[in-house]
C-alpha cells in the first residue's frame, strides 16, 4: 500500500511591506489578511503541516492565535524587498525535515481556498509531476504586444509567430502565474532551486479567484468581492 505523501505548507509573511503597511495582518472584515490563507491550508485534505515563515513578532503572534504553527523566526536578511521566494522555502526546509512535497501559499492570494489547494495537489499527484503552479488566462494576449525599435520606431512582436492573429477569438490561450499556489517535490526542488521549472504543470484558476493584493486598489477589490458575496448570501 502506497503511503500518503507528507506535504509541508509554507506561508511567507514578512513584516516590512511597503505598498500597504502591515499588509499581511491588516484587518479586512475584522479578520487579518493572512487568516484566509491559514484557514485554506488548515482545511486542506492533503497538507500535513502548515507553518508561517516571518521575521515579525506581531505576524507570528497573529498566526499562532489563528491556530497556525510558527516554529522559527526568519532572519532579517531573508525578509528584504528583493529576497527570492526560493530562499524563504529553502530556509524553512532546512528547519523542517522529512517532507515529500512543499507548497508555498502567499497570504496576498486570499481567494485561493482549500478546494484549489487540494485540486492542485491532486493534479500533480495524478500526473506524477515534480512541480505544479497555479495560473490564470491572461486578459491581454502577448500575441498583440510589441517592443518598439528605438532607431526606426518599428514594432517588434514579443512572440514570434508565422500566423497573424487579427481577431481575438483566434488567439491561442496564454496563461500567467497568479502567485496563489506553488507545489514542488522537495528532492527535486533541492536540486533545481526553482519554484517553476520545465517540469512544472499548470493548475488553472479563474480570474475571479486570482486576486494578488499588492496595493490599496487590490485591497479595495478584495473588500468589494467580500461585500458582493455577503449580499448574495443574504438573498
Is 217's pLDDT higher than 80? yes
pLDDT band at 166 (very low <50, low <70, confident <90, very high): low
pLDDT band at 227 (very low <50, low <70, confident <90, very high): confident
Is 233's pLDDT higher than 80? no
Average pLDDT over residues 184-198: 96
Overall pTM surpassing 0.75 (yes/no): yes
Listed by start position, the domains of the chain span 7-137+174-229, 139-172
pLDDT band at 98 (very low <50, low <70, confident <90, very high): very high
Is 232's pLDDT higher than 80? no
Average pLDDT, the chain: 92
Alpha helix segments (H runs only) across the chain: 34-42, 57-65, 85-95, 114-126, 186-192, 216-234
User: Are 10 and 51 contacting, i.e. CB atoms less than 8 angstroms apart?
Assistant: yes
pLDDT band at 72 (very low <50, low <70, confident <90, very high): very high
Least confident of 25-29, 66-70, 139-143: 139-143
Question: If you write DSSP's letter for every residue of 5-74 in order, what string do you get?
Answer: PPEEEEEE--S--SSSTTGGG-EETTEETHHHHHHHHHT-SS-SEEEEEBS-HHHHHHHHHTT-B--SB-
Least confident of 50-54, 107-111, 213-217: 213-217
Average pLDDT over residues 73-94: 95
pLDDT of residue 218: 94
| CATH number, domain 7-137+174-229 | 3.90.550.10
Least confident of 25-29, 160-164, 177-181, 197-201: 160-164
Amino acid at each position: 500500500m502506497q503511503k500518503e505523501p507528507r506535504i509541508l505548507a509554507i506561508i511567507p509573511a514578512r513584516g516590512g511591506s511597503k505598498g500597504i503597511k502591515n499588509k499581511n495582518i491588516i484587518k479586512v472584515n475584522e479578520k487579518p489578511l493572512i487568516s484566509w490563507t491559514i484557514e485554506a491550508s488548515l482545511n486542506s485534505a492533503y497538507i500535513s503541516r502548515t507553518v508561517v515563515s516571518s521575521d515579525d513578532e506581531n505576524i507570528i503572534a497573529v498566526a499562532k492565535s489563528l491556530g497556525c504553527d510558527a516554529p522559527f523566526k526568519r532572519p532579517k536578511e531573508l525578509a528584504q524587498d528583493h529576497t527570492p521566494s526560493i530562499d524563504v522555502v529553502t530556509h524553512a526546509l532546512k528547519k523542517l525535515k522529512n517532507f515529500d512535497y512543499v507548497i508555498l501559499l502567499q497570504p496576498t492570494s486570499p481567494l485561493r481556498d482549500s478546494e484549489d489547494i487540494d485540486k492542485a495537489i491532486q493534479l500533480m499527484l495524478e500526473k506524477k509531476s515534480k512541480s505544479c503552479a497555479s495560473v490564470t488566462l491572461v486578459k491581454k494576449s502577448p500575441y498583440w504586444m510589441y517592443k518598439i525599435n528605438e532607431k526606426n520606431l518599428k514594432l517588434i512582436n514579443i512572440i514570434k509567430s508565422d500566423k497573424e492573429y487579427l481577431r481575438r477569438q483566434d488567439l491561442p490561450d496564454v496563461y500567467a502565474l497568479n502567485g496563489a499556489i506553488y507545489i514542488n517535490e522537495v528532492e527535486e526542488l533541492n536540486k533545481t532551486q526553482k519554484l517553476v521549472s520545465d517540469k512544472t504543470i499548470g493548475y488553472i484558476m479563474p480570474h475571479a479567484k486570482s486576486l494578488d493584493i499588492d496595493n490599496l486598489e487590490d485591497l479595495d477589490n478584495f473588500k468589494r468581492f467580500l461585500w458582493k458575496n455577503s449580499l448574495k448570501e443574504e438573498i
